[in-house]
Structure formats: C-alpha cells, structure tokens
Structure 1
Amino acid sequence: MREKLKAYRFPLILLVSIIVGSVIGLIYGDKANVIKPLGDIFLNLLFMVVMPLVFFSIASAIANMNSMKRFGKIMGSMITIFIVTGIIASVVMLVATVLFPPGSGANIPLETPDDVEQSSLAEQLVNTFTVPDFVDLFSKDNMLVLIIFAVLVGVATGLSGEQGRPFAKFLSSGSEIFMKLVQLIMYYAPIGLGAYFASLIGQFGTDLIGDYAKAVLIYYPVAILYFAIGFTLYAFLSGGKKGIGRFWKNILNPAVTALGTGSSIASLPVNLEATKRMGVPKDIRETVLPLGATIHMDGSCLSAMLKIAFVFGVFDMDFTGIDTFLTAIGICLLSGIVMSGIPGGGFMGELMIVTLYGLPIEALPIISAIGVVVDPPATMINVTGDSVSSMLVTRQLEGNGWMEKTEAE
C-alpha cells in the first residue's frame, strides 16, 4: 500500500494543491486574484519548454529507429494498429461527450481579437503545414509545423547512416535534457496550479467544480467499458475465443502494475512477461511494447477527447460538426504521442491541445486538473492496450494459426 501511495505521490500532491486552491477561491472570491501571478509563472515556464521538447522527443525517436531490432512488416502493422485503436478510443469518448456534454456550466468568456483577417483555403493549408522562416518553427502557434519538421529531421537522420549517428545522439541527448527540465519545472507545479485555481474558482465559483465532477463521471465508466468490451473484442480478432482466454488470463499483472506505478514505462517489464505467456513472438513483443509505451495510448486518447470537449464547454465554444470532430480525433492521436513517462508528462499533451486549437493560456490549468484525476485508469488502459495490440500484430503477420504455433514451440 505504501509503495502505491509513493508511486502516486506527485499526482496526489497536485490534486491536494488544486483542492486547497479551490477552497481559497471559494473563501476569498475575487480577492484570490492577488496570487494569480504565481500560476502565470508556471504556465509560462511550460510554454517556454514545450516546443524544443516536442522537437527533440519526436526527432530522436524516429532517428534512432534503425538501431532497434525490428522488421519493416512489424513496424507497418504496428503503426496501423496503433492508429486504428487510437481512433476507436477517441471516437468512443467523442460519442460519450456528445451524449453527455461536460463543462457546460461555467461558460468562461473567450476573448477574441476584433480584426481577424480572412484567408483562402489555399493560404490556410500553406500556413498550417509550413512557415516562411526557420525561427517561426519555435512559436507555439506553429506546433503542427514543428511536428512535421521533427519527423522529417528524424527520417533524414536515420537515412544518413553512420554519418547521421552523431546527430542522432545529439537528438537523444536533447530529448533527455528537456525531459529533465520539465521535471524541474514540475516541482513548482503544486504552487502554480494551486494559485491558479484559487483565482479561477474565486472568479467562477461552484459552476466550474460541478463541471469537473461531471467530467469524472463520464470518464471512469467509459474507460471501464472500453477496457472490458473493447479489449475483449481486440483479443477475439487476434485469436478467437482462445485469444480472449489468453488475454484475460495474463493481463491482470500488467493492469495492476500500471495502476500501482502510474507509469507505462515502469510497467514494461511485467508487460513483456505477460505477452510472452500469451504467445506473442519475441521480436514482435520487444518492438511493439517499448514503442507502445511512448506512442500508443488509448487511455490518453480517451482523456484527451474529454479534455477537448470540456474546454469547449467551459469557454462556450461550439463542439459540433465533422471538421471539429476530425480535428479533435487528430489532436487526440498527436497528444498521445507526446505523452511521456516523466512525472506530470501529461502536461505536454495538454499543451498540444491548447496550442493546436489556439486556445488562451488560461485553458491549460483548466484541463490539466482532469488529467490529474483520470490518470490511474488512463495508464492502465495505455499499458494493456499495448498487450492486445501485440496480439493483433502477431495475428496479422503470423496468420490465423499463430496461437497453435506458439503452443507447439
């Protein structure tokens, strides 16, 4: 019990700081705005580091792929399954948030500039995927362009072979350094979030608290149903009734470990052992699970969609239409990729939601509180989703009789 509490010590500290800040806001009302600058400092620190962190983490991951033992077929199948299951998770939560809209009580006013220039579709496409100058890459207004640039740099580094190895090491080093920088910034998070929520609740009162309760009541049942029904269906597709049996017989250890540690990466050794007992071949499980621990997060897709719907609700924005829904699904997939195993790493995904939608900086602490509360079941779904994905990859590569082959070995 003590170990579990230790693993969740940081999320619990954040939760306590949010609660304390909310109580201060309820007691002092608008007077709580006096400590709002303490929260602004925290937000500015995060926005300062997010762009280089996203660049180095994505570019280094792609640049170093050629040093790992994997087959092209495994990679192709794995990426396809990761994308499909991530889309399914996003759509499941999208349906839930459309049926039961969260964040519809507070209606925080969203300030927009009066003189917005209209541009053609062609100009919008150019501005969405490119920038005219290199220095513009590192503006938070051009997050998608930076992601595309990071992917291209990673691919070019990998294709450069031995000559690209020093640069690949530089990218990996940069990724580690900026993740460590985020860790240092997160030490200030309890003060920053507490101060910000004191100001927020002081201004908008109990309506916002009610919206959070509604969001949690949506996430937990949807997450449990996705875990029970969705993963059972995936296991059936990978191996029929026998696949379901093997999955549920071996998945409890990784699930409990994920709940206890709160980390996909910390759960990796247990997950590798579980998939070995499921009969997933060594080369597949040792490719799918480590990559899945960083870029395949069904639980994070569920929570990202909830956060998007929530922030649309509290800012009284229109969360309807195919364009809005497709954008939300795409952002869920992207935010799942930038989630990391560091404490408070979910802030990176939340930063991406805020920047890609062009939301005001005030939106970050509003949605970050949801991440703190839903983190345990989200991590469990992230980890167990990697397990069943490795079964699906095996089914696609080894054929219908893969389970019989592993039994004979």
Structure 2
Amino acid sequence: MSQNAHKYSLTVRIFIGMIAGIIIGVLLQLVFDDSGDLRFSIFGYSFSTYNILVDGIFSTLGQIFIASLKMLVVPLVFVSLICGTSSLTEPSKLGRLGAKSIGLYIFTTAIAISLAIGLGLLVAPGANVEAATDVTYTAKEAPSLSHVIIDMFPTNPVNAMAEGKMLQIIIFAVLLGIAMAMCGEAGKRVANFFEDINTVIMRLVTIIMNLAPYGVFVLMAKLFATIGADMLGSLTTYFLLVLGVLVLHALVTYSVLLKVFTGLNPLILFEKMRDAAQFAFTTSSSSATLPVTMETARNKLGIGKSVSSFTLPLGSTINMDGTAIMQGVATVFIAQVYAVDLTLSDYLMVVLTATLASVGTAGVPGVGLIMLAMVLQQVNLPVEGIGLIIGVDRLLDMTRTAVNITGDCTVACIIAKSENELDEACFNDINAGRREEDIDLEHFDRNS
C-alpha cells in the first residue's frame, strides 16, 4: 500500500463508518414503524427486530466504545500532566502556561457568545415560533461560581480520579509534578516510571483509535434510527443559525487567532484535526475525545509535551466555545418566542454568565443544557423554554464538541509557539503522525 493510502486510511475508515451508520439509521426509520414491526417469536417469546438492532446491538456496542474512550481519560491526563510538569526546568513556566491558557480560553469563549448573540438578534430565529403550552423542562441546579472554584481543589485525589473530576485531577497532578521536579534524583526516578506508563497509555490510545470506525458506525446508526426529522420543522432557523455560527467561529475566529499569533497556516490545522473532529462529532464529549486530541496535538501538530499535557486537559474542561454559542443563540431564541425584551445590560450579563459558566461545564454530552438553565435564570427567562430546543440539541451538541476540541488545539498551538515548544516542521509536514495512527493490529506485537 502506498504511503498516501496509509496516511488517509484511518480517516477514510472513520468517514465510511459515519456515512454507513447514517444510511443504516435512516433506512431503519423508513423500514420499521414505531412499534418495531417485523417481529418474530422464539420459544413463545416475541422479539422486535428494530429493538434488537437499535436498542440492543447498536446501543450496546456504542456504549462500549464510549466507555473505552472514557477509560483512557483519567490515566492519560494524570500521567501526562505529571510527566509534563516534572520536566519543567523553570517553575515560572507553569504560571505562564496557566495564565496564557485560561486567558485565551476565556477570550475565545467571550468572542463566541458575543458572535452568537449578535447574529441571533440579526436573524431573529424565534420571531415566528409560538411557545407550546405542553413543553416542559426540569432544570438541574447549576453550580455557583464560588462552588466551582472551591471544587477545583481535591480533598481526596483518589476519589477525584474515581469520579472523573478533571479540575481536581489537573491540580493534584500539577502539584505532584512540581514536587517531583524539586526532589532531585528521587524525583527523576519517579518521573522515569511515569514516562514508561505514559508510553504504554499512548500505545493504548492508538489501539482504541484503530477500532474507531466500528464505534462511529454503531453510534451514528443508533442516533439516526431514533431521531425524528419532523422536529426540525419549526426549529429550522434556530438549528441552521447555531450551526452557521459554530462553523463561522471555527473557520474565522480560530484561523485569525492562529495566523496573527503564530503565522501558521490554519488550513493545515483543520486538515490534521479531521480525525479528532470526527471522534468529537460522534461522541459529543470533549473528555472522551481527549486521548485522540492529545495524540493529534503531539504527533501531528508538533506541540511539545509540557504544553499539550497541561493545556489540552484544561481546555477539555473549561473551553466550551461551542456550548457558549448554543447558549447565546438559545437565549435570544427563547426571549423572542416568549416575547421578552432583553436590555443591553441583560445581554452583557448573558455574555459574562456564559463565559464564566464554561469553567464549570464538564466535557460530557448534554451538559450545555444544564448551564443554559443558569444563563436563562440570570436574565429572568423561563427555563421551560429549553424544552423547545431540546429535540434538536443532540445534533448540535455533536457539532459544537468538534468546535470545542478544534479550539483546544488552536490555543495549544498559540501557547506552544510562544513558549518555543512548537515543532513547526512537524506542523507543516502533512504526513506527520501517519505511522502512529496506522498500526496493523494483526501484527501489533511484531511491530512494537
């Protein structure tokens, strides 16, 4: 097989899996009715072919794939952060990385929601939509900002890892890495141990990535077999507006920032982000996609270990540009549907609240709706209005997750460039990272 074929094999397989899953899901909706027609009986028990395929095989395999990705997140973040932090020769560098990362993430989030509100007011997606009287939505209580800050610091690191509390894991790993860097020879011996673990974990990431086309197939088949096309009727303008702002933010905002701060070609970044974006789109989870994002950043974009180990896990937790865009458009949409006139100060409050709320938004599917309830409450809009958009939010959640992880890597490139931790030759090499993504599992032992 040619080198070019090797390079694109994983990308092509994932894309084929995605398209095949969509087609199978749509066909299942056309062939079977709501009751799951084409039933059969075995030993007196009745079975629905539709339920066996969708709720049985597709759902089970899809959840196994998601669980496999999530399995890697905590050990990957913990070990890579320790390795990156313990290798820092300048203690001040960690402070610079933190300040730059948080500052850029908040800056891009503020741009995202401002753009969403501005275009929402211009397009007016809710002007001709009537609020349904039977629409309900029970909002979960959103955490306060003070609670988010307090909850960043772990009282039990082991419990934080067991529950997947990323901010607590990040802080503990950073502190442990700093302590290792200050312990001389003892710290170096422990660091070497974690470096070996990190090598094994990254190889495990590669194995999971080779199984991605099958996971993508069952996830997309399950989604499109259950989602109804009729729900897009009255929400077409809202759906297309959110989708348009997401694409605009990814292609324009990130391109401008990357070009201005680094001089790098944004098209190369988008090309190399394809695999990670496809993972993000199908999983709807920044956290589940993190192993793939980190592999892409290190092996394809040339981002140094100390930067990628710190910036990307932090970004998967606090960088929620896509979620902020949904919140901005949804706020305008719901205000228009319920004929509530929001003032300039109200919109400024939405920008501030959504930007700060992104810090407390976990990188898991659907959590944006919880934070939207918090935003709506700040400007006295009915939380029940979330029920109007919840039907199409699953598809939008997939897209905004892809935007989020693209933003993570854009910021990581900018920070790596400023810290002289970016291998520009690797970034500009379109073939970089090809060998790691195309391991032949049948000959895995021989190649390793």
TM-score of Structure 1 vs Structure 2, range by shorter chain:
0.5 to 0.7
Match of 2:116 among 74, 88, 93: 93
Q: TM-score, normalised by structure 1?
A: 0.59
Aligned to 2:418: 396
1:248/1:213 CA distance change after superposition, 3 Å: closer
Indicate the SS of the match to 2:322: helix
Partner residue, 2:99: 76
Spell out, residue by residue over 1:325-345, the C-alpha distance to the aligned partner (whole angstroms, 9 max, x if none): 211112322343343344433
1:45-194 to 2 correspondences below 5 Å: 69-70=84-85, 71-106=94-129, 108=131, 146-152=144-150, 154=152, 164=155, 166=156, 169=158
> Once the 2 structures are TM-superposed, how far is the Cα of residue 215 of structure 1 from its aligned partner?
0.5
In structure 2, runs of 5+ residues without a counterpart are 1-14, 35-77, 86-93, 134-138, 166-222, 429-448
- C-alpha separation between the residues in 1 aligned to 2:284 and 2:132? 35
**Deviation (angstroms), 1:283:** 0.9
1:253-402 correspondence to structure 2 within 5 Å: 253-276=275-298, 277-321=300-344, 323-398=345-420
Higher mean C-alpha displacement, 146-155 vs 383-392: 146-155
Partner Cα distance (2:295, 2:141) in 1: 41
C-alpha deviations, 1:348-401, integer Å up to 9, x for none?
A: 2233234433443422322433522412221110111111110111233339x9
Q: Closer, same or farther in 2 for the Cα pair 1:175/1:388, shift >3 Å?
A: closer
Per the alignment, residue 129 of structure 1 pairs with none
> In the alignment, residue 283 of structure 2 is paired with which amino acid?
T
Matched with 1:122 is: none
Residue identity in the other structure for 1:254? A
Equivalent AA in structure 2 for residue 387 of structure 1? C
1:231 aligns with 2:254: yes
Distance across 2 between alignment mates of 1:141 and 1:340: 14
Aligned in 2, Cα 1:268/1:172: closer, same or farther, shift over 3 Å? Answer: closer
**Identity across the alignment (%):** 20
CA separation of 1:249 and 1:143: change in aligned 2, threshold 3 A: closer
Deviations 1:136-165 (A, max 9, x none): xxxx99957x3213414545x6xxxxxx5x
The residue type equivalent to 1:378 in the other structure is: R
The 3 A distance-change label for structure 1 pair 260 and 153 is closer
Q: In the alignment, which residue of structure 1 is the partner of 2:245? A: 222
When residues 7 and 316 of structure 1 are mapped into structure 2, their CA distance, relative to the original with a 3 A threshold, is farther
Please tell me the root mean square deviation across aligned C-alpha atoms, in Å: 4.2
How far residue 210 of structure 1 moved from its aligned partner, in angstroms, is 5.9
Q: 1:151 to 1:389 in 2, by over 3 A?
A: same
CA-CA distance at 1:303 after TM superposition: 1.0
**Contact 1:271–1:383 (CA under 8 A) maintained in structure 2:** yes
- Cα distance in 2 for residues equivalent to 1:76 and 1:253: 29
Contact 2:232–2:392, Cα closer than 8 Å, also in 1: no
Unmatched 5+ stretches in structure 1 = 21-63, 111-139, 158-163, 177-189, 195-205
Separation in 2 of the partners of 1:109 and 1:98? 22
Q: Are the structure 2 counterparts of residues 249 and 2 from structure 1 closer, same or farther at C-alpha, using a change threshold of 3 Å?
A: closer
Counterpart residue type for residue 396 of structure 2 = V
In the TM superposition, residue 77 of structure 1 has moved relative to its aligned partner by 0.5
State the secondary structure of the residue aligned to 1:278: coil
Aligned to 2:273: 251
Residues 370 and 353 of structure 1: is their aligned pair in 2 closer, same or farther, counting only changes over 3 Å?
farther
Deviations 1:20-56, CA, capped at 9 Å, x for gaps: 9xxxxxxxxxxxxxxxxxxxxxxxxxxxxxxxxxxxx
Structure number having the greater helix percentage: 1
Bigger Cα displacement from structure 2, 349-358 vs 380-389:
349-358
| 2:284 and 2:364 in contact (8 A); partners too | no
Contact in 1 for aligned 2:148/2:360 (Cα 8 Å): no
Aligned length in residues = 290
The offset of 1:209, in angstroms, is: 7.1
Shift of 1:83: 0.5
Greater shift, 377-386 or 67-76, is seen at: 67-76
3-state DSSP class of the match of 2:116?
A: helix
Change (3 A) 1:3 1:405: closer
Equivalent pair of 2:294/2:308 in contact (CA under 8 Å): yes
State the alpha-carbon separation in 2 of the partners of residues 359 and 306 from structure 1.
Answer: 14
* Contact 1:77–1:396 (8 Å) recurs in 2: no
The letter for the 2-side match of 1:391 is C
TM-score, normalised via structure 2 length: 0.54
1:354 touches 1:364 (CA, 8 Å); kept in 2? no
Query: CA deviation digits over 1:212-268, x for unaligned, max 9?
Result: 21101212222222222222212212321x343542342222222222332222322
Q: Report the AA paired with residue 416 of structure 2.
A: T
Q: For residues 373 and 141 of structure 1, what CA distance do their matches in structure 2 show?
A: 21
Contact 1:231 1:385 in 2 (8 A): yes
Structure 2 SS opposite 1:319: coil
| Distance of 1:290 and 1:360 partners within structure 2 | 34
* Secondary structure of 2:339 counterpart: coil
Which is higher, the Rg of structure 1 or of structure 2?
2
